[in-house]
Amino acid sequence: MQNAAFDACGLDWQYEAFDVDDVLEAVAVLRAGGYIGANVTIPYKEEVVSACDEAEGDAVNTLVFRDGRVVGFNTDKEILAGIDATRACVIGGGGAAKALAPSLPADVRVFTRSGDWPPDATGCDLIVNATPVRDELLVRPAAGQTVVDLAYGPDETVLVAAARAAGCVVVDGREALVRQGAASFRLWTGIEPPVDAMRAAVRT
Protein backbone atom coordinates (compact mmCIF):
# COMPACT_ATOMS: atom_id res chain seq x y z
CA MET A 1 0.00 0.00 0.00
CA GLN A 2 2.70 2.50 0.95
CA ASN A 3 4.79 1.53 -2.07
CA ALA A 4 1.76 2.15 -4.29
CA ALA A 5 1.42 5.57 -2.66
CA PHE A 6 5.09 6.37 -3.20
CA ASP A 7 4.82 5.35 -6.86
CA ALA A 8 1.67 7.44 -7.35
CA CYS A 9 3.53 10.49 -6.03
CA GLY A 10 6.70 9.85 -7.98
CA LEU A 11 8.77 9.21 -4.85
CA ASP A 12 11.78 6.90 -5.13
CA TRP A 13 11.08 5.43 -1.68
CA GLN A 14 10.69 1.85 -0.52
CA TYR A 15 8.46 0.45 2.24
CA GLU A 16 9.65 -2.89 3.64
CA ALA A 17 8.34 -5.27 6.29
CA PHE A 18 10.62 -6.61 9.01
CA ASP A 19 10.00 -9.25 11.66
CA VAL A 20 11.70 -8.21 14.89
CA ASP A 21 12.30 -9.83 18.26
CA ASP A 22 13.54 -6.69 20.02
CA VAL A 23 11.63 -3.58 18.94
CA LEU A 24 13.92 -1.20 20.82
CA GLU A 25 16.99 -2.57 19.07
CA ALA A 26 15.15 -2.42 15.75
CA VAL A 27 14.36 1.26 16.23
CA ALA A 28 18.02 1.98 17.01
CA VAL A 29 19.09 0.21 13.82
CA LEU A 30 16.55 2.09 11.71
CA ARG A 31 17.52 5.45 13.19
CA ALA A 32 21.21 4.79 12.52
CA GLY A 33 20.45 3.45 9.04
CA GLY A 34 19.07 6.68 7.64
CA TYR A 35 15.43 5.63 7.45
CA ILE A 36 12.72 8.28 7.25
CA GLY A 37 10.25 6.46 9.44
CA ALA A 38 8.49 3.22 10.32
CA ASN A 39 5.21 1.67 11.28
CA VAL A 40 4.88 -0.43 14.41
CA THR A 41 2.20 -3.05 14.84
CA ILE A 42 0.97 -5.33 17.62
CA PRO A 43 2.36 -6.36 20.05
CA TYR A 44 4.88 -3.48 20.11
CA LYS A 45 2.76 -0.31 20.04
CA GLU A 46 3.19 0.34 23.74
CA GLU A 47 6.74 -0.95 24.22
CA VAL A 48 8.11 1.19 21.38
CA VAL A 49 7.14 4.38 23.21
CA SER A 50 10.25 3.97 25.38
CA ALA A 51 12.40 4.22 22.24
CA CYS A 52 10.92 7.60 21.33
CA ASP A 53 12.34 10.98 22.25
CA GLU A 54 8.79 12.28 22.01
CA ALA A 55 5.57 10.29 21.78
CA GLU A 56 1.91 11.00 21.21
CA GLY A 57 0.32 9.03 24.05
CA ASP A 58 1.00 5.62 25.58
CA ALA A 59 0.77 3.68 22.32
CA VAL A 60 2.10 4.69 18.90
CA ASN A 61 2.12 3.03 15.52
CA THR A 62 4.13 5.50 13.42
CA LEU A 63 7.70 6.63 13.91
CA VAL A 64 9.36 9.60 12.25
CA PHE A 65 13.16 9.90 12.35
CA ARG A 66 13.88 13.61 12.27
CA ASP A 67 16.99 15.62 13.20
CA GLY A 68 18.47 12.67 15.07
CA ARG A 69 15.32 12.14 17.13
CA VAL A 70 12.58 9.52 17.13
CA VAL A 71 9.07 10.93 17.28
CA GLY A 72 6.14 8.55 17.79
CA PHE A 73 2.67 9.29 16.46
CA ASN A 74 -0.68 7.61 16.86
CA THR A 75 -2.28 7.53 13.42
CA ASP A 76 -4.64 4.73 14.50
CA LYS A 77 -6.96 7.41 15.88
CA GLU A 78 -7.67 8.44 12.26
CA ILE A 79 -9.53 5.15 11.82
CA LEU A 80 -12.46 6.61 13.77
CA ALA A 81 -12.39 10.02 12.10
CA GLY A 82 -15.89 11.14 11.10
CA ILE A 83 -17.65 8.53 13.25
CA ASP A 84 -20.16 10.18 15.58
CA ALA A 85 -20.86 7.80 18.47
CA THR A 86 -22.07 8.21 22.03
CA ARG A 87 -21.36 4.76 23.50
CA ALA A 88 -18.77 2.23 22.37
CA CYS A 89 -18.24 -1.48 22.88
CA VAL A 90 -14.50 -2.10 22.53
CA ILE A 91 -13.23 -5.66 22.29
CA GLY A 92 -9.61 -5.95 23.37
CA GLY A 93 -7.48 -3.98 25.79
CA GLY A 94 -4.05 -3.97 24.19
CA GLY A 95 -2.10 -1.36 22.30
CA ALA A 96 -4.54 -1.22 19.40
CA ALA A 97 -7.43 -0.39 21.72
CA LYS A 98 -5.38 2.16 23.65
CA ALA A 99 -4.33 3.87 20.43
CA LEU A 100 -7.99 4.42 19.53
CA ALA A 101 -8.86 5.82 22.97
CA PRO A 102 -8.47 9.53 22.03
CA SER A 103 -11.14 9.15 19.35
CA LEU A 104 -13.64 7.09 21.33
CA PRO A 105 -16.73 8.59 22.98
CA ALA A 106 -16.68 9.27 26.70
CA ASP A 107 -18.91 6.24 27.40
CA VAL A 108 -16.83 3.16 26.59
CA ARG A 109 -17.31 -0.46 27.63
CA VAL A 110 -14.11 -2.49 27.26
CA PHE A 111 -14.21 -6.27 27.08
CA THR A 112 -11.20 -8.56 27.43
CA ARG A 113 -10.86 -12.28 28.02
CA SER A 114 -8.99 -11.53 31.24
CA GLY A 115 -11.69 -9.08 32.42
CA ASP A 116 -15.33 -8.56 31.48
CA TRP A 117 -16.41 -11.27 29.02
CA PRO A 118 -18.24 -11.98 26.77
CA PRO A 119 -18.68 -8.66 24.94
CA ASP A 120 -22.10 -7.01 25.14
CA ALA A 121 -22.92 -4.23 22.69
CA THR A 122 -26.44 -3.59 23.97
CA GLY A 123 -27.12 0.13 23.90
CA CYS A 124 -23.89 0.89 22.02
CA ASP A 125 -23.83 2.69 18.68
CA LEU A 126 -20.19 1.79 18.00
CA ILE A 127 -18.49 -1.62 18.10
CA VAL A 128 -14.71 -1.84 17.77
CA ASN A 129 -12.86 -5.11 17.44
CA ALA A 130 -9.30 -4.24 18.50
CA THR A 131 -8.13 -7.86 18.48
CA PRO A 132 -6.71 -9.97 15.63
CA VAL A 133 -9.65 -12.40 15.89
CA ARG A 134 -11.11 -12.94 12.41
CA ASP A 135 -13.09 -16.19 12.42
CA GLU A 136 -15.16 -15.91 15.61
CA LEU A 137 -18.22 -13.72 16.12
CA LEU A 138 -17.32 -12.09 19.42
CA VAL A 139 -20.46 -9.93 19.48
CA ARG A 140 -23.54 -9.80 17.28
CA PRO A 141 -24.03 -6.40 15.61
CA ALA A 142 -27.43 -4.84 15.01
CA ALA A 143 -28.85 -2.29 12.59
CA GLY A 144 -28.00 1.27 13.56
CA GLN A 145 -24.56 0.43 14.88
CA THR A 146 -21.21 1.32 13.32
CA VAL A 147 -18.72 -1.55 13.32
CA VAL A 148 -14.97 -1.04 13.10
CA ASP A 149 -12.91 -4.20 12.79
CA LEU A 150 -9.13 -3.75 12.95
CA ALA A 151 -8.43 -7.36 11.95
CA TYR A 152 -7.53 -7.42 8.28
CA GLY A 153 -6.68 -9.94 5.62
CA PRO A 154 -7.73 -11.00 2.12
CA ASP A 155 -11.23 -12.02 3.21
CA GLU A 156 -13.92 -10.43 5.35
CA THR A 157 -13.94 -11.29 9.02
CA VAL A 158 -16.95 -13.00 10.55
CA LEU A 159 -17.80 -9.77 12.38
CA VAL A 160 -17.66 -7.64 9.22
CA ALA A 161 -19.86 -10.13 7.33
CA ALA A 162 -22.42 -10.11 10.15
CA ALA A 163 -22.33 -6.31 10.34
CA ARG A 164 -22.94 -5.91 6.61
CA ALA A 165 -25.78 -8.42 6.79
CA ALA A 166 -27.35 -6.42 9.63
CA GLY A 167 -27.13 -3.17 7.66
CA CYS A 168 -24.47 -1.57 9.85
CA VAL A 169 -22.03 1.09 8.76
CA VAL A 170 -18.75 -0.81 8.46
CA VAL A 171 -15.08 0.13 8.54
CA ASP A 172 -13.29 -3.14 7.81
CA GLY A 173 -9.67 -3.93 8.51
CA ARG A 174 -8.46 -2.92 5.07
CA GLU A 175 -10.15 0.48 5.22
CA ALA A 176 -8.76 0.93 8.72
CA LEU A 177 -5.31 0.14 7.34
CA VAL A 178 -5.72 2.78 4.63
CA ARG A 179 -6.92 5.45 7.07
CA GLN A 180 -4.01 5.09 9.46
CA GLY A 181 -1.56 4.49 6.61
CA ALA A 182 -2.59 7.69 4.86
CA ALA A 183 -1.87 9.65 8.02
CA SER A 184 1.53 7.95 8.33
CA PHE A 185 2.32 8.80 4.71
CA ARG A 186 1.53 12.47 5.38
CA LEU A 187 3.84 12.53 8.40
CA TRP A 188 6.74 10.94 6.54
CA THR A 189 6.49 12.86 3.27
CA GLY A 190 4.79 16.14 4.13
CA ILE A 191 2.42 15.73 1.17
CA GLU A 192 -1.18 14.63 0.85
CA PRO A 193 -1.54 10.86 0.46
CA PRO A 194 -3.00 9.36 -2.73
CA VAL A 195 -5.80 7.59 -0.86
CA ASP A 196 -7.43 6.07 -3.97
CA ALA A 197 -4.16 4.40 -4.95
CA MET A 198 -3.76 3.10 -1.41
CA ARG A 199 -7.28 1.69 -1.32
CA ALA A 200 -6.76 -0.01 -4.67
CA ALA A 201 -3.54 -1.58 -3.40
CA VAL A 202 -5.10 -3.15 -0.32
CA ARG A 203 -8.11 -4.45 -2.26
CA THR A 204 -6.04 -6.35 -4.85
Q: Which helix (H) or strand (E) holds 169?
A: strand 169-171
| Closest among 79, 199, 60, 76 to 147, alpha carbons compared | 79
Strands (E), 14-155: 37-39, 54-55, 62-66, 69-73, 87-91, 107-111, 126-129, 146-149
Q: Is 77 a catalytic residue?
A: no
What one-letter code names the amino acid at 116? D
Catalytic residue among 45, 77, 179, 199, which?
A: 45
Q: Reduce the DSSP state of residue 164 to 3 states and report it.
A: helix
Report the phi/psi class of residue 45: left, alpha or beta, with left for phi > 0 and alpha for psi in -120 to 50: alpha
Buried b (16+ CB within 10 A) or exposed e, 87-115: bbbbbbbbbbbbbbbebbeeebbbbbeee
Helices 173-189 and 195-203: angle between axes, nearest 10 degrees: 140
Angle formed at CA 100 by CA 11 and CA 36, multiple of 5 degrees? 25
Q: Reduce the DSSP state of residue 204 to 3 states and report it.
A: coil
**Catalytic positions:** 45
